[in-house]
A = this chain, B = another copy of it.
């Protein structure tokens, strides 16, 4: 704290010491005569509660509790942590931690952490749920001379969590990029809301630890945090516009790039290289990541043709040849950057006999000043490019060892540009819904002690929300069944209704394609006979009479409520293909129209829906409408924990969809 150059006053508190590092020491924080803004607590856990109370009484505004020995150690620690949080709330104190490494702010400057040395001042804010990862990265930042605006160790997140710090970082003018290592997000819906808003102002890059089932176990034993399902996290990040890194290196490569480069105005990169091989590798990576190679204008090609040797390649990727000195790089970079078709640039250099690494680096830095197009450098090699690479990095041109890393970082930048362009998502509330009907069925199931709605109840529930289901009636006698069939119209299907019978067709519980009243009667009796023979103890609610609808393309819409993030909606190919092809997409409710459209276009089935081999396209608008209705239903009724419409038949354009089979499960509370 002293060494970092902090300009405020520091009061050590310790019951035994008289003086610490030349500062007078107080036996109790309440003895300090000055106003105390913040207290760093680094004492054994059992003593923390009393100290926190003392801080509260003193009027301290915030605590940084470094002490370990709380939730991460088990039940008793968790109790202690709850008590600590209570004290903080009681006195209106904010708390970081406990069990954290503290906080560093390079512009204050203020180092309230274990870290021995401060990183260089910069504009990257690094928030980490893992203290050890934090230390390693701080150490790495020192070596790489990477500038940070601040470093925040979240610890157990008893009070302040990643969302609070995101909100603060968005307001902090010193911060340009927010990067986060996180293992769990407890307030999923709040995260989604805050992140969605924040990314419009500053990029947020997240590395999520604990994606695997085994990893989740490790996370559990590490911080005692509940780790949500990874699908929900992935969906939340995508939907809110948070950029995800796959590993620590990516996290930092992205951070360096975002912290120095402008946002590109489009997806079209030019590559300038003095070597074929690395140019090919960069091009390969562009194709793999969806980064498009710019088509240089005729004018640019002509200008390059005049300046470059005849065996150069004047098309993108531009090959300035192995004997290119810095002046040839300069002329080429200038021409290419001035081409309106180019929105970003990657410059590759491989050290060869005539190569001027440092001079070329200086040229790039020079040309990058005031540029509104991102420039990324790839200087391959070791000693021959060491000084040049450092020069580039020190002067805000990100420099990578290998082409693939530059392309990856650029693709993240392009992704962010697209996120910024996204329209504000609007959640329209549908009014043509019958809430009373839904309540009635939920209530009746509850009274009956059931958590799974009966098929006709589930059908009525979604019908109340404007989703078409086949005409359907529950019959409890043969006469009922015949009457229902006559009303509905033939052909009909008869199906036994019993929550205990899972595979109805296996025991003859379903009869299809019934064409007459006599056949209905026969089918009714047949079903009951077989059911009573094979499953004599099953509770029978009756027999469902359903209109047999024409075959459509089989889709599925499902909902699963995530503990952290709420209803996770799934869309994809239904029928027997759903389980093994897993051609599905996800979004968290509530959905906007764009969300629903994106869900559909993300699946491979989209190609089928648009119509292949001259087949008529399917009614995609109707699918969008149903997705929105499902979204609203599960948003309106938190007691719906799971839902499956499978199959959902979709017909050709203008003919809509029919939800053939619906299953709805309620909370057990």
Report if A159 contacts B (CB, 8 A): no
In the complex, which residue of chain B has the Cβ closest to the Cβ of A352? Answer: B135
Quick check: A132 and B276 within 8 Å, CB to CB? yes
Q: Give which listed residue, B214, B218, B284, B503, contacts A211 with CB less than 8 A.
A: B284
**What B residues does A246 contact at CB under 8 A?**
404
Number of copies: 2
Considering the complex, which residues of chain A in the window 213-242 have a beta carbon less than 8 Å from any beta carbon of chain B? 213-215, 218-219, 221-223
Q: Which of the 9-residue segments A137-145, A300-308, A326-334 touches chain B?
A: A137-145
Query: Which residues on B sit within 8 Å (CB–CB) of A580?
Result: 604-605, 607-608, 612
Instruction: Given the known inter-chain contacts A130-B275, A583-B581, please indicate yes or no for A219 contacting B280, CB distance below 8 A.
Output: yes
Which of these, B140, B209, B281, contacts A382 with CB under 8 Å? B140
Given the contacts A293-B214, A386-B143, A580-B612, A136 and B284 also touching, CB distance less than 8 Å: no
Is B382 touching A247 in the complex (CB atoms < 8 A)? no
Q: Is the CB of B581 within 8 A of A222?
A: no
Of the listed residues A139, A249, A351, the one surrounded by the most CB atoms of chain B closer than 10 A to its CB is: A139
State in angstroms the CA–CA spacing of A211 and B396 once bound together: 32
A 338-356 binary contact with B (CB < 8 Å = 1; else 0): 0000000000001111000
Q: Given contacts A351-B139, A383-B142, are A183 and B576 in contact (CB under 8 A)? A: no
CB-CB under 8 A from A384, the residues of chain B are 139
A83 within 8 A of B: no
Cα separation A278 to B383 with both chains bound (whole Å): 30
> Is A79's beta carbon under 8 Å from chain B?
no
CB under 8 Å from chain B, chain A span 58-110: 73
Contacts known (A284-B215, A350-B133); A402 close to B607, Cβ less than 8 A: no
Complex contact B130–A210 (CB within 8 A): no
Chain B residues near A73 (CB-CB < 8 A): 311
Known pairs A139-B351, A143-B386, A215-B283; A380 contacts B209 (CB<8 A): no
The answer to whether B143 and A382 touch across the interface, beta carbons within 8 angstroms, is yes
* A380–B277 CB distance below 8 A: no
A274 in the interface, Cβ–Cβ < 8 Å?
A: yes
A215-B382 contact given A280-B222, A402-B247, CB 8 Å threshold: no
Complex Cα–Cα for A281 and B221 (A): 14
Give which listed residue, B133, B275, B283, contacts A380 with CB less than 8 A.
Answer: B133
Q: Which of A287-323 contact B (CB under 8 A)?
A: 287-288, 293, 311, 313, 317, 319, 322
Q: A244-300: which have CB < 8 Å to B? A: 246-249, 274-281, 283-288, 293
Residue A651 at the B interface, CB < 8 A? no
What's the least CB distance linking A129 to chain B, in Å?
A: 7
A215–B132 CB distance below 8 A? no
Given contacts A140-B382, A580-B612, contact A277 B181 (CB under 8 A): yes
With A214-B286, A214-B293, A614-B506 as given contacts, are A183 and B607 in contact (CB-CB < 8 Å)? no
Bound CA span A383–B580, Å: 48
Given A139-B351, A604-B581, A247 contacting B281 (CB threshold 8 A): yes
Q: Does A637 contact B (CB under 8 A)?
A: no
Whether the Cβ atoms of A352 and B132 lie closer than 8 Å is yes
Q: Tell me whether B581 and A218 are in contact (CB under 8 A).
A: no
- Total count of chain A residues near the partner, CB < 8 A: 87
| Known interface pairs A351-B136, A580-B612, A581-B604; A281-B214 also in contact (CB < 8 Å) | no
Residues of B within 8 A of A281 (CB): 133, 207, 209, 215, 247-248
Once the chains bind, are B136 and A381 in contact (CB under 8 Å)? yes
Residues of B within 8 A of A607 (CB): 579-580
Q: A128 within 8 Å of B by Cβ?
A: yes
Bound CA–CA A219/B215 (angstroms)? 41
Q: Report A126-177 residues with CB < 8 Å from chain B CB.
A: 128-133, 135-137, 139-144
A537 close to B (CB within 8 Å): no
A401: Cβ under 8 A from any B Cβ: yes
- Asked if A31 is at the interface (CB within 8 A of a chain B CB), the reply is no
Indicate whether A541 reaches chain B with its CB closer than 8 angstroms.
Answer: no
> A613 on the interface (CB 8 Å rule)?
yes
Task: With CB as the reference atom, state the residue of chain B lying closest to A322.
Answer: B132
Closest Cβ–Cβ distance, residue A308 to chain B (whole Å): 13
Contact B276 A219 (CB under 8 A): yes
Contact B381 A613 (CB under 8 A): no
Name the residue on B nearest A129 (C-beta): B277
Give the distance in Å from the alpha carbon of A275 to the alpha carbon of B248 in the complex. 15
Contact of A136 among B140, B278, B319, B386 (CB under 8 A): B278
Closest B residue to A581 by beta carbon equals B604
Cβ-defined partner of A277 (8 Å) among B133, B278, B404, B503: B133
Is the pair B210, A284 in contact by a Cβ cutoff of 8 Å?
yes
Q: Does A385 contact B (CB under 8 A)?
A: yes
- Chain B residues with CB under 8 Å of A506's CB are 614
Closest 10 A-B residue pairs measured CB to CB?
Answer: A130-B277, A143-B382, A132-B275, A212-B287, A222-B276, A136-B380, A139-B381, A133-B277, A580-B607, A132-B350
- Report A's interface with B, CB cutoff 8 A: 73, 114, 128-133, 135-137, 139-144, 181, 183, 207, 209-215, 218-219, 221-223, 246-249, 274-281, 283-288, 293, 311, 313, 317, 319, 322, 350-353, 380-386, 401-405, 503, 506, 576-577, 579-581, 583, 604-605, 607-608, 612-614
15 A-B pairs whose Cβ atoms sit less than 8 Å apart in the complex: A133-B275, A133-B281, A136-B380, A136-B381, A137-B381, A139-B381, A181-B277, A207-B281, A209-B277, A210-B280, A214-B286, A215-B280, A248-B281, A579-B607, A580-B604
